[in-house]
Amino acid sequence: MPRGALIVIEGLDRAGKTTQCALLESRLYNSRLIKFPDRTTPIGQVINTYLTTDSDSDSSPLLEDHAIHLLFSANRWEALPSLLASLEAGETLILDRYIYSGIAFSIAKGTLGYEYARAPDVGLPSPDAVVFLDLPVDVAKGRAGFGGERYERSDVQERVRGCFDEVRRREGAGERHGWWTVVDAGQGIEKVAEMVEDLAVRAMIWAKKNELRRIE
């Protein structure tokens, strides 16, 4: 049986990642959606406390930047057996954020270098397609839910947007031309969904003919 495709949806806050992942899962036969961070595991619960607490306190001391970065990566590694089982069983895996959020959000702090930030994810499965939903921060601010968590501030989001540009330049290049696509997330939900579905179908065709790679 051919392996399943690994499709990653990335983007800034409120770009519509979760909306699009759910739509894609509902439209693709034999697909499975996983969101990172997975806040349900013990590691994920530490991450959740970090994200939902905006300052140092006795009940929740601020985690050092490298330490929280490694926990985000550990949260992906703990999902590895399940990711591989799905792909081997031929399921299309849709990931709502992945290592690229990990790199961009951490390097935006200015305390971690690019190579340090990407190193802990080396060895994880490499996506067959990355769809980056791009949205100006001032548009994202107008969408429901912006502002509730640690990174949901305009200055942070602006820095992260610049860091995602660097991630796209460094990770999206190479011989697999077109595997990283930037989609204008300011369009209507259905319009974006059609583009995402088209990219997903191409990734599924690619995955049938090519072995799964690992992040190198």
Q: Site residues (CB under 6 A) for ligand Z5A? A: 11, 13-19, 36-37, 51, 72, 97, 101-102, 105, 143-145, 151-152, 185, 188-189, 192
Comparing CB distances to ligand Z5A, the nearer of 4 and 37 is 37
CB of 209 to ligand Z5A, least distance (A): 29
- Going by C-alpha positions, the residue among 38, 27, 41, 24 that lies closest to residue 94 is 24
Give residue number: closest CB to Mg ion.
18
Binding to Mg ion (CB under 5 A) within 10-29 occurs at 17-18
CB of 183 to ligand Z5A, least distance (A): 10
Q: Residue 78: which H helix or E strand, with range?
A: none
Report how far residue 30's alpha carbon sits from residue 175's, in angstroms, rounded to the nearest whole number.
29
Q: Any bridge partners for residue 181, and if so which?
A: 131
Question: Given 3-state DSSP classes, what are the helix, strand and coil percentages for the chain, each rounded to the nearest 5?
Answer: 50, 15, 35
Chosen from ligand Z5A, Mg ion, none, partner binding at 42 (C-beta under 5 to 8 Å by type)? none
8-state DSSP, 92: E
Chosen from ligand Z5A, Mg ion, none, partner binding at 48 (C-beta under 5 to 8 Å by type)? none
**What torsion, rounded to 10 degrees, do the Cα atoms 74, 134, 13, 132 define?**
-20
Length of the chain: 216
Comparing CB distances to Mg ion, the nearer of 135 and 207 is 135
What 3-state DSSP class applies to 206? helix
Asked if 48 interacts with Mg ion (CB under 5 A), we say no
CB of 208 to Mg ion, least distance (A): 29
Q: Which amino acid is at 130?
A: V
Chosen from ligand Z5A, Mg ion, none, partner binding at 110 (C-beta under 5 to 8 Å by type)? none
Comparing CB distances to Mg ion, the nearer of 114 and 146 is 146
Q: Which residues bind Mg ion (CB under 5 A)?
A: 17-18
